[in-house]
Amino acid sequence: MPGLDTALPLPHEEQLGVALVGLGAYTLNQILPNLPASRRCRLAALVSGNEDKARTVARAYGLGERHVYNYDTFDRIAEDQTVDVVYILLPNTMHRDWTERSFAAGKHVLCEKPMAATVADCEAMIAAGRTADRKLMIGYRAQFDPYNLRAIDLVRGDNRQIGTPRIAVGNHGRMLDLSDSRDGWRAKRDLAGGGSLFDIGIYSLNGVRYLLGEEPTEVTARFMPRSGRSEVEVEEGVAWSMLFPSGAVANCTSSYLIEGVNRLQVQGSEGTVTLDPATKYYVRHLILTRGRTHERIVIPNTNQFAAMFDELAEAIREDREPKASGTEGLRDVRIMEAIYESAEQGRSVSLI
């Protein structure tokens, strides 16, 4: 069709219906505005502890009140034939219970990162999905981002440009703002499960893993100095290095005490690929450096959120594991547990 340069959405009845659980900042500001860009998914229900907010949002997105649930009425969603997928956007330690409730209601699950607070929780979530014969995917949107995918291609794909990858770098940092309600629970261990690592360091960890395309065998970590804010019960900064089977080394940091750091880089024998910012919602800068040349690569019209939803819908249709499955979420939680163990005990921790 002349003038049409994007694929059209599927007809409404062929799209999968998604219920969003938790109407917080990420749901309201990123997921709701971007879900309509998905070809294969559409909004089907809202689940919230705040009735007024849920009603207002439902009206704004043209959703009937019978598709609005609260945390007590949620289990009735089993009878809501318009809902195929439950997307869990709650504080981290609530992810396991809500995943299990959603599987018990017969729905597929998309669960935000970090998958859960512990390896045991992640394993229980995967097992619940198997028992229910439903798919489980973790909201690793950057794995669907065309910039990050191009970076992978430049490091180790058909268009590899940097020779042998030797050093990977991942740095993520932002100031934890205790006056903002979305950061209040992030300071509390019983809701956050972990500190800056669980919240943003996970992008450094997941990023170097997908850029290198291999799994670390050993981790060495140390905590960074704390702010002294008594409300903060979790770690506010951690630095860690990881060894990979190829011999590559990753140096990573995560901090709640610096502002606006969002970087992934792979340094190879013939060049360097830098994403900075790497994992933001809308702005990413991708630079390929070879010798004295710095090439900035620009990719138009990207929507990592829509690509994530479409992958889940395709995995359901094709009855296969989605990319960014529960197993992938579990890998990061296992490594994050090892990072904390290493920092606490002052020694390297083997991952094999």
Phi-psi map region of 41: left, alpha, beta (phi>0 left; psi -120 to 50 alpha):
beta
Closest by Cα among 231, 141, 228 to 183: 231
Binding mask 83-122 for ligand NDP (x = CB under 6 A): ------xxxx-------------------xx---------
CA distance 315 to 126: 16
Cα 152 from chain centre: 17
CA distance 191 to 72: 19
23 counts as binding ligand NDP under rule CB under 6 A? yes
25 counts as binding ligand NDP under rule CB under 6 A? yes
Query: Please, what sign has the CA dihedral across residues 29, 312, 201, 298?
Result: negative
What are 29's two structure tokens? 């500001």
Binding mask 239-278 for ligand NDP (x = CB under 6 A): ----------------------------------------
CB-wise, 135 or 172, nearer to ligand NDP?
Answer: 172
Active site (annotated) includes residue 203: yes
Task: Please list, residue by residue across 299-309, b when 16 or more beta carbons sit within 10 angstroms of its beta carbon and e when fewer do.
Answer: eeebbbbbbbb
Contacts of ligand NDP in 125-144 (CB under 6 A): 139, 141
Query: Please, what sign has the CA dihedral across residues 310, 316, 317, 318?
Result: positive
Cα 224 from chain centre: 24
Residue with tokens 């005990």: 345
Residue 285 CB, shortest distance to ligand NDP, in Å, is: 18
Active site (annotated) includes residue 107: no
CB-wise, 222 or 285, nearer to ligand NDP?
Answer: 285
Binding mask 36-75 for ligand NDP (x = CB under 6 A): ------------xxx--x----------------------
26 counts as binding ligand NDP under rule CB under 6 A? yes
Closest residue to ligand NDP: CB criterion: 24
CB-wise, 67 or 113, nearer to ligand NDP?
Answer: 113
CB-wise, 75 or 295, nearer to ligand NDP?
Answer: 75
Closest by Cα among 342, 203, 197, 222 to 278: 203
24 counts as binding ligand NDP under rule CB under 6 A? yes
Sites of contact with ligand NDP (CB under 6 A): 22-27, 48-50, 53, 89-92, 112-113, 139, 141, 181-182, 185, 191, 199
Q: Which residues are catalytic, by number? A: 113, 203
